[in-house]
């Protein structure tokens, strides 16, 4: 019987390792990922222990107006009801970004074990900030942080 070297289909790379012995992720990459995690932990620990001031928080500003709204939605269809003026502001089958905010609100209420659908507060500040907050769960969202297009949607709803 001929040896492997005289075989017509001899592999120039030599014998291959079994699949279970091959490295899927390079060791240097694993070391880099753990180093990044440890470096981040050290940085955050330093900031906490030295009482560094918070950055990236919205500036305080006077309130221009507040409204109480009841938001309902099923993924696409959205209804926004103004409890202060006792009228419907929005009723559409394609809520877009409003439905995304409702999904986040429902998740926060689920985690806080909030029953029913209590009203949320939407607040317009003098510096242009628009904030939606849920007193029942403690959840809030800065609506301007999702981009100017989405902020215009909420401003159009409130302009009615």
Domain ranges within the chain, ordered by starting residue:
11-49, 63-159
What residues pair up with 130 in beta bridges, in sequence order? 124
User: pLDDT tens, 59-114?
Assistant: 888 999 898 999 888 877 888 888 888 888 888 888 788 888 888 899 999 999 99
What pTM does this model have? 0.64
User: pLDDT tens, 102-157?
Assistant: 888 999 999 999 998 999 999 999 988 899 999 999 999 988 887 888 888 888 88
């Amino acid at each position: 019987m001929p040896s492997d070297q005289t075989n017509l289909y001899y592999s120039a790379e030599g014998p291959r390792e079994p699949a279970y012995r091959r490295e899927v992720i390079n060791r240097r990459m694993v070391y880099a990922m753990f180093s990044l995690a440890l470096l981040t932990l050290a940085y955050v620990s330093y900031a906490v222990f030295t009482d560094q001031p918070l950055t990236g928080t919205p500036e305080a500003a006077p309130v221009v107006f507040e409204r109480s709204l009841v938001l309902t939605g099923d993924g696409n269809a959205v209804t926004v009801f103004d409890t202060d003026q006792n009228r419907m502001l929005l009723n559409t089958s394609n809520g877009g970004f409003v439905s995304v905010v409702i999904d986040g609100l429902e998740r926060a209420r689920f985690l806080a074990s909030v029953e029913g659908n209590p009203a949320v507060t939407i607040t317009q500040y003098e510096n242009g900030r628009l904030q939606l907050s849920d007193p029942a769960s403690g959840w809030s969202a800065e609506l301007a942080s999702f981009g100017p297009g989405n902020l215009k949607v909420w401003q159009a709803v409130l302009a009615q």
